[in-house]
Every structure is written in structure tokens, then in C-alpha cells.
Amino acid sequence: MSTLFSPVKLGNLTLKNRIIIAPMCQYSAVDGAVGDWHLMHLGSLATSGAGMLIIEATAVEPAGRISPYDVGLWSDATEAALGKVLQSVRQYSTMPIAVQLAHAGRKASSQRPWDGGQLIAEADGGWQTVSASAIPHNAKETAPLALDAAGLERVKQAFVDAAKRAHGLGIDAIELHAAHGYLMHQFLSPLSNQRTDQYGGSLENRLRFPLEIFDVVKAALPEGYTLGIRISASDWVDGGWDVAQSSVFTKELEQRGCAFIHVSSGGLSPLQQIPLEPGYQVHFAEAIKKVTAMPVIAVGLITEAEHAESILNQGQADMIGIARGILYDPHWPWHAAAKLGASVDVPPQYWRSQPREYKTLFGETRMGGR
């Protein structure tokens, strides 16, 4: 039996297989509201046969958007728009759906990647960004405002409110975004956090605000609700956030009842030096798995079914996150199941596409008609 296609439990949520569709920003929302593009995009992914789909980074307040086109969940209008898309998707898919709640911090107010990705000045329609400290992501950019006590409370409440909206929409799980150089990561890393109060300096202090966000979100959700987190295990910069600090953070999260941890890396500094190669982040997931009983998701240029299977069989991770690979091949789980001799859930409308050499790929299907 394939390990990749075996079930896994995340808190009270059981997934049919260990393929996780990682969050992928589409930069296609209008004032935070999803629309027809997301209906097509999420609908396609929800019929892919993966174990769980995580909706892209979803801003908890307008100032937390990476770009003016980011998805948000801060108002009745953004909630209604997402609810409408989810209602349509769920007519044809039973795949568990999670959402990644995020705040971009100093990396907010930026152009879409295909428009250059640079910071948008307030005079050009951007907005003042915030962070742990008044240190810009790029030395040539306008510095963010360091969050004061009122700002910290506002952000925490925004996460709580968005989490309540997500639960109200029937979303199965929430992933908090503490990776890729966004706000929670900015508090964790000594490169971006140079505060002198209780939220800066020592590792204990730098962990404080992200852990407070986790605590208040967990307290706002029903007992047993699946709440996980995504981290960057390393900044890939000397003197920055690293695996040792990530391990301490992981242990604190586990004590608080975190249901899973999604291990990525980088994104905090333009000085990062990342050696891109297949599975380049798997060793981070493996290191985190050694210090926690939480299920661990590995991600990063894992494109072949056999590679994904070997990562799980070697005990380096518990689940595999697929992102760009599933944009390129929306039926990646189908093809992985065929290679590994497994079966996958597929809508009956597609049953007739099952190749003759894989007679049980879609389970014991029975096709009639003429």
C-alpha cells in the first residue's frame, strides 16, 4: 500500500491521503472578494483527488494584503464572496478545505508578481505598512511603522475575527501564516525584529506575538478544531531565523494544541541564498519532525510521485505539500496514484477517463450508458 495515499489525522480531521494542496496566491480578488477566477481555480483543485486544499493567503485586514488584489476575510462582503464560491465547489467535491490566514506586514502594499512585485507608494494607491520594527524589507523601500500596543491588539483581533468567519463558512481547518517573511515571521526573525520591549530581543520575546496570535485564535474556535501553522524554518541568511529557533517555536506550538506544522523556508530577506533543487526544503521538515509529534508537511520542488513516497517512507515528513506542481498538472494526484498503484477520489463525470491499464485508479467504478 502506498504511504502517500494512506489516511492521516489532523486534530479531529481525517484526510483520505497525504497530498496537501499548498496555498498559492492568485492576486485576482477585488477589494478582498473572490470571484469567478477563484471559482474555476478552486473548483479544479477540489476535483484533483488530493487529501486537502488550503486556500491562498487570506488577509485578516486590508492593510495585511500583499497586493491590492489579495483575498481577504475581514468583512461581511469578503465572507459572502468566499461563501458563494465554496458553496459551488462543495456541490461536486467532498475534499476538506482549509484557509491560510495571513498578514503581510512590511511586505504588503506591493505590485502583483507579473507587474514587478515592487512596493506601491501611498501616492500611487498603496498604503503604509507595519511590522515588528521600522526596518524595510529592501533598503530602498519606505520603512514600515513598528506596531504599537494598540496595533498589536488590532492585528490579534483581526486574526480572531477572520478565524470566526472561516469557521462560520464551514471551512474545515485553518493554517496561520508565519512564513515567507510576512508579519508573524517578521516578529520571529532577529533580522526584522529589533524591538526593545517584551516582543523583541530574546528568542522568548520574539516568539511572544506569534504565540499570542495562535492562542487567541485557538480560544475563539471550537474545542478540537484543526488549527495549524506554516513556518519558514530558516531565513537562509547568517544571523537570521534558523532551525534551532524553529524547533523551540514548534515545541511551544505543540504544547498549545497545534494540529499540524507546514515547513517552508525563506522570504524574509533579499540577502537569502537558497540552493534550489528537488526537495530542497525537506531536510527542514525532517529536523522539525524530530522534535514534535505533530504531523509535519514537507514542501518545495517535490514534483515526482516516487520522491513524495520516499520522503514519507523515510520518516522525513507526514504529508507532502504540492503547489506549483499542481498548477502545472491539476491532476497530479491522479497520476501519482497511477504510478504508486493506489486509488483516488474522482467525480463520476470523469470516471470514463480512467486508462484501461489502471482498472482501480478511480476505485471500483461502474460505467453504464451508451
All structural domains of the chain, each given as residue ranges with its CATH number in brackets, are 8-353 (3.20.20.70)
Per-residue pLDDT at 323 exceeds 60: yes
Q: Is 123 helix (H, G, I), strand (E, B) or coil?
A: helix
Does 368 have pLDDT greater than 60? no
Residue 242 pLDDT > 80: yes
| pLDDT above 60: residue 211 | yes
b/e map of 276-314 (b: 16 or more CB within 10 Å)? eeebebbbbbbbbbebbebbbbbbbbbebbeebbbbbee
Q: Is the pLDDT of residue 141 over 80?
A: yes
Catalytic site residues?
182
Per-residue pLDDT, averaged over 269-287, amounts to 96
User: What is d(CA 166, CA 162) in angstroms, rounded to the nearest whole number?
Assistant: 6
- Alpha carbons 344 and 65: distance in angstroms, whole number: 35
Residue in the structure block whose three cell numbers are 532577529: 190
Question: Is residue 247 predicted with pLDDT exceeding 70?
Answer: yes
Beta bridge partners of 320: 19, 298
Q: Which helix (H) or strand (E) holds 156?
A: helix 149-168
9-34: pLDDT as tens digits = 999 999 999 999 999 999 999 999 99
298 near 320, Cβ under 8 Å? yes
Which residue is it, cell 472561516? 166
Model confidence at 364: pLDDT above 70: no
> pLDDT category, 363, cuts 50, 70, 90?
confident
Give yes or no for residue 155 having a pLDDT over 70: yes
pLDDT score recorded for residue 206 = 98
Q: Which residues of 227-240 are buried (b: 16+ CB within 10 A; e: fewer)?
A: bbbbbbbbbbbeeb
Give the angle 348-352-358 at the CA atoms, nearest 5°: 105
pLDDT for 243 equals 98
Give the three cell numbers for residue 166.
472561516
